[in-house]
Copies of this chain bind each other. A is one copy, B any other.
Amino acid sequence: MGIKVAVLGAHGRVGSAIVEAVKEAEDLDLYATVDEGSQIEDIKGADVVVDFTTPNAVMDNLKYALGEGIHAVVGTTGFTPERLEQVRSWCQESTAHALIAPNFAISAVLTMAFAKQAAQYFESAEVIEFHHPNKLDAPSGTAVHTAEAIAAARKEAGMDACPDATDQSLDGARGADVQGIKVHGVRMQGMVAHEEVIFGTQGQTLTIRQDSYDRTSFVPGVLLGVRKINEHPGLVVGLDEYLGI
């Protein structure tokens, strides 16, 4: 018998990819799918529910699921500190656990974690992100978060600014400055979502690069959450703890 998985928002782009993945996984059973036209009570009896719905719907979903003792893996956005506190208290009253993560792409989460670990050992650090040209913001939120994490690690280690003798520059040539870390955004037809972090010191560089080739790159992270949530009590925010980092 596999883990009984219910999927909320099952008709959405993300939800349907998760439904497919659960069907294909030998250790998982697709127990219920819920979307407009069906009701949350259908998940009763599941082991884990996956919620990629909307900020409007997610809190009611979680209240019900945790109340029924069903673990919840959540990729829905819009969690304020107050909402997180509410979910935390529901977990305390329940035998069920919750995982809420803004990013389920394992390669992206590891890239940021490794960047934090490496930051203090290299004088230079820059971030380049590459996305399809329909993206509205530059740099990407992930790249900004990565740069902030590097900056924080450097600050904690008491490091100086990255060396840079530039004194003659075209506007924008050196990228955006995020707390002293330069971030460059490339917009390229054909690409999907890619991030590269480069660190340099004497005679060497270290490059950590993440490539998302299609829109299903969140699937392995969601399945990891489903499989391991029984080992992570209470509310966990972000995939890091699940990745042992």
Contact = CB atoms under 8 A, between A and B. Distances in A.
Interface string A223-245: 01000000000000000000111
A204 B199 CA distance: 21
A83 interface: no
Contacts of A201: 106-107, 189-190, 220
Nearest to A124: B189
Interface size class of A (residues with CB under 8 A): 35 or more
Interface string A204-228: 1111111111111101100010000
A197 to B, nearest CB: 10
Contacts of A105: 204
- Copies, count: 4
Contacts of A84: none
Interface string A100-111: 000001111011
A101 B139 CA distance: 38
B111 A206 contact: yes
B205 A208 contact: no
Nearest to A214: B203
B210 A187 contact: no
A205 B43 CA distance: 33
A207 B205 contact: no
Contacts of A167: 136-137
Contact of A133 (B110, B111, B162): B162
A212 B166 CA distance: 20
A151 B205 CA distance: 25
Interface in A169-197: 169-178, 182-192
Given A126-B186, A136-B167, A166-B135, A200 B207 contact: no
Q: Which of A128, A170, A190, A210 has the most CB of B within 10 A?
A: A190
A137 to B, nearest CB: 5
Given A110-B206, A209-B206, A182 B174 contact: no
A170 B220 contact: no
Contacts of A176: 169-173
Nearest to A184: B184
A122 B138 CA distance: 22
A141 to B, nearest CB: 11
A123 interface: yes
A174 B172 contact: yes
Given A192-B213, A213-B203, A173 B175 contact: yes
